[in-house]
């Protein structure tokens, strides 16, 4: 049997470079080429050691190893520091520098604000290469676990109750020491029958009481109500139902995507997606032109969202989550301002809802429509009418909203058309594929950093990793 020559202590005639081993097509080499054309001068200028002091590791190098780490499901600063000593790709990107985990962690925390600018520059590069055109974009959200245990959700009342319980326990020990308990002494813990045991227990109580008071002081500064809960570990996270149907502290992450690229994101701590569309679109508008079309599921359906997109001249494709009242089943009496249904029930005017003084009619006819005259339509979004059954006193309500009627009709016609169906199909593989890649392939399901600032920094990093990996693999 013959084998190829095998020598572990093989030496090289000339010192090899890491790039020789990796090859021109390696992911790390292409990543380095892509980010070398990105302007990081703003990040460099954020350092201030011109007047002396220890020189810092170059921010471009730290950016490269962080992004490459996230591209390869390595999110821990300790693990990245470890890779710098044993992984050829990391050694190549760092120039064989070995910053410790504290340096990497500090860079991620302190320079997070500058990552957003770099994220924007990468998207501009993607646009230059033809990957994105701001044509048909999609929005969707997912829940990401916070770096916080749900057992740490506290309220002022809960902490105060525990403090009172500790005070009572301390008082009980004092009573025992004074001999007040008499014959009940046999019922007490053996540790409390000696002076040393009582002193030990008293110290434990005082330590616990001090910790609880520190928690209470933190919550008091936030000015919350007595029963309002907040997570002591990450005050910005909220308890919500996650994708696995379990309840945990987390964040609601929104992505606006096109062709599988993340164009903008928004981090919230509410469970519902409905109120996240406008802030997400405003984040996009801050840096980029508005898209021609926006696709979303029915969770984003609301009159405010339709109105906002209309004013931005964006064609919305969002299924209606609740069908409006069919006014063909009612007869309007203009003189009495009432509605008569097919059963002979009369609905009388009850109240106007939500003033809309600043919302324009956007050039639509000023004639009366569905019983709502121009003045009323200018001032209010909807009008409530009420019917009271004289026998049972049971109340029924009729909500009249001309705008909602119009939006619902437009969306139904648009999404049922052949062209609309074809456009809406893009949403499935576009935005949902992005979350699939991040959660399944990159294995990012929980934040390491805390608070809105921290999680925004980390999601910018994972978005950079996703976009750059997509550009490299294209």
- pLDDT of 29 above 60: yes
Residue that the structure tokens 């409905």 belong to: 274
pLDDT digits (tens, 9 = 90+) for 351-393: 887 665 444 444 444 444 444 444 444 456 778 888 998 888 9
CA proximity to 460, closest of 215, 283, 293: 283
Instruction: Please check whether residue 248 is in contact with residue 150, taking contact to mean a CB–CB distance below 8 angstroms.
Output: yes
- pLDDT of 314 above 80: yes
Tokens of 104: 């990497």
Write down the pLDDT at residue 407: 92
Write down the pLDDT at residue 179: 60
**How far is Cα of residue 349 from the mean position of the Cα atoms in its chain?**
41
What mean pLDDT do residues 210-214 have?
77
Q: Where are the domains of the chain?
A: 18-46+55-110, 136-147+238-313+417-462, 151-231, 327-400
Helices and strands (H and E) in the chain: how many? 17, 13
Whole-number Cα distances in Å, 103 to 84, 194, 279, 284:
13, 51, 33, 31
Q: Which of the residue ranges 21-35, 51-65, 271-285, 292-306 would you say has the lowest mean pLDDT?
A: 51-65
pLDDT digits (tens, 9 = 90+) for 409-450: 999 999 999 999 999 999 988 888 999 999 999 999 999 999
Ramachandran angles phi, psi of 376, nearest 5°: -65, -40
**How far is Cα of residue 184 from the mean position of the Cα atoms in its chain?**
57
Write down the pLDDT at residue 288: 94
Computed on alpha carbons and rounded to an integer, the radius of gyration of the chain in Å comes to: 31
Instruction: Please check whether residue 60 is in contact with residue 93, taking contact to mean a CB–CB distance below 8 angstroms.
Output: no
- pLDDT-above-90 percentage for the chain: 47
Write down the pLDDT at residue 258: 96
Mean pLDDT for the chain overall: 84
- pLDDT of 119 above 60: yes
Write down the pLDDT at residue 8: 66
Secondary structure in 3-state letters for 17-43: CHHHHHCCCCHHHHHHHHHHCCCCHHH
Long-range (24+ apart) CB contacts under 8 A made by 167-176 are 167/209, 169/205, 170/202, 170/205, 170/206, 170/209, 173/198, 173/201, 173/202, 173/205
139 - beta bridge partners? 256
pLDDT digits (tens, 9 = 90+) for 161-208: 777 777 777 777 776 666 644 555 555 566 666 777 777 777 877 787
Instruction: Please check whether residue 442 is in contact with residue 71, taking contact to mean a CB–CB distance below 8 angstroms.
Output: yes
Reported as a pLDDT band with limits 50, 70 and 90, residue 105 is very high
Write down the pLDDT at residue 10: 66
Write down the pLDDT at residue 361: 40
Tokens of 160: 């105060």
Tokens of 259: 């062709």
- pLDDT-above-70 percentage for the chain: 84
Regarding predicted confidence, which is higher, 84 or 47?
84
Whole-number Cα distances in Å, 92 to 71, 248, 293, 413, 468:
16, 39, 42, 56, 18
Write down the pLDDT at residue 398: 87
Terminal Cα distance for the chain, rounded: 45
């Amino acid at each position: 049997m013959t084998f190829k020559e095998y020598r572990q202590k093989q030496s090289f005639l000339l010192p090899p470079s890491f790039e020789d081993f990796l090859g021109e097509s390696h992911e790390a080499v292409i990543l380095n080429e892509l980010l070398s054309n990105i302007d990081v001068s703003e990040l460099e200028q954020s350092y201030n050691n011109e007047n002396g002091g220890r020189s810092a590791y170059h921010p471009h190098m730290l950016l490269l190893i962080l992004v490459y780490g996230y591209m390869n499901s390595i999110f821990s600063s300790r693990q990245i520091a470890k890779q710098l000593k044993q992984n050829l790709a990391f050694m190549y990107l760092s120039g064989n520098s070995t910053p410790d985990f504290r340096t990497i962690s500090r860079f991620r925390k302190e320079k997070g604000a500058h990552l957003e600018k770099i994220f924007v520059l990468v998207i501009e590069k993607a646009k230059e290469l033809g990957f994105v055109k701001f044509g048909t974009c999609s929005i969707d959200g997912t829940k990401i676990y916070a770096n916080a245990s749900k057992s740490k959700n506290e309220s002022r009342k809960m902490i105060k109750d525990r403090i009172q319980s500790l005070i009572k326990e301390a008082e009980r020990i004092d009573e025992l020491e004074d001999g007040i308990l008499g014959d009940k002494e046999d019922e007490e813990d053996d540790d409390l029958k000696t002076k040393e045991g009582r002193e030990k227990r008293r110290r434990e109580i005082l330590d616990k009481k001090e910790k609880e008071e520190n928690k209470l002081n933190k919550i008091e500064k936030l000015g919350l109500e007595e029963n309002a809960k907040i997570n002591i570990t990450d005050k910005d996270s909220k308890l919500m139902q996650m994708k696995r149907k379990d309840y945990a502290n987390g964040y609601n992450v929104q992505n606006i995507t096109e062709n599988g690229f993340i164009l903008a994101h928004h981090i919230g701590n509410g469970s519902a997606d409905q109120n996240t569309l406008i802030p997400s679109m405003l984040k996009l508008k801050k840096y980029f032109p508005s898209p021609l079309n926006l696709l979303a599921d029915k969770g984003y359906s609301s009159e405010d969202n339709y109105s906002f997109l209309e004013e931005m001249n964006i064609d919305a494709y969002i299924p209606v989550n609740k069908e409006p009242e069919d006014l063909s089943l009612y007869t309007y009496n203009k003189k009495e301002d009432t509605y008569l249904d097919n059963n002979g029930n009369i609905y009388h005017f009850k109240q106007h809802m939500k003033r809309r003084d600043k919302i324009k009619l956007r050039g639509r006819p000023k004639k009366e429509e569905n019983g709502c005259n121009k003045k009323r339509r200018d001032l209010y979004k909807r009008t409530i009418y009420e019917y009271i059954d004289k026998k049972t006193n049971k109340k029924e309500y009729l909500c009249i909203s001309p705008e909602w009627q119009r939006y619902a009709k437009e969306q139904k016609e648009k999404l049922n058309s052949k062209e609309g169906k074809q456009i809406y199909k893009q949403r499935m593989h576009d935005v949902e594929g992005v979350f699939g890649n991040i959660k399944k392939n990159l294995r990012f399901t929980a934040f390491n950093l805390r608070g809105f600032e921290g999680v925004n920094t980390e999601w910018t990093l994972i978005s950079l990793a996703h976009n750059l990996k997509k550009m490299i693999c294209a």
